[in-house]
Chains A and B, each alone.
Chain A
Amino acid sequence: DIQMTQSPSTLSASVGDRVTITCRASQVINGWLAWYQQKPGKAPKLLIYKASSLESGVPSRFSGSGSGTEFTLTISSLQPDDFATYYCQQYHIYPLAFGGGTKVEIK
């Protein structure tokens, strides 16, 4: 099974900061990676798919990159609405797997 490791687990940042979250897969996943945002009491929301494709309606300050086993989610200028928990997910092979999550907190 593929294991997904996210870092950091918690990140403290200020509005306007550039934020980067890393996700590492235990084996090559050929770019079959998605990023989700989850706020308390809400369903996860798709942000990025196929490692770098921006979901329709998602602000352009969100971007994804990476290949092989290492991927990043970048928020170019953190906004108040962005304080949430972020998860990566591989869909290269079954069983599907999520990273442990990164909570972005207000500094």
Chain B
Amino acid sequence: QVQLQESGPRLVKPSETLSLTCSVSGYSVRSDDCWGWIRRPPGKGLEWIGGIFRSANTQYNPSLKSRLTISLDRSKNEFSLRLSSVTAADTAFYYCARQSCDSLGTYHFASWGQGTLVTVSS
């Protein structure tokens, strides 16, 4: 069964770049897989950040697109998120997830990591 684990700095300074990695275990990442990032600011609801599909295609939340990069490293069985120029509004629990998909489209998030709280503060 696939397991996902987020890792990265828990504290980031304003204007700097937030970088997180999602390590995938119990499963070998394939070229036709779909992966995503979701966040939940404390006390608020879930927000879709973006995803990477079939190794190279990406979709980003328009509200974050100018600051966001999501990439996949099949050799390390992991995928990553980079969010630049962060502010306090980016403080949130960040989750990585495996998105169900096939040749016809992308669907629900079937498996999730435990999440990691990233705080933006000086």
Interface residues of A (CB under 8 A from B): 1, 32, 34, 36, 38, 42-46, 49-50, 55, 87, 89, 91, 94-101
Contacts and interface: CB of A to CB of B under 8 A. Distances in A.
**B interface, how many residues as a size bin?**
20 to 34
A91 B105 CA distance: 10
Contacts of A95: 48, 59-62
A105 to B, nearest CB: 15
Given A45-B112, A49-B107, A95-B61, 9 more contacts: A1-B62, A34-B107, A34-B109, A38-B46, A46-B109, A89-B108, A95-B60, A98-B48, A100-B45
Interface of B: 36, 38, 45-48, 59-62, 95, 100, 106-110, 112-115
In terms of DSSP, what is the predominant structure of the interface of chain B? strand
A40 B47 CA distance: 17
5 contacts: A44-B95, A46-B108, A95-B61, A96-B48, A98-B38
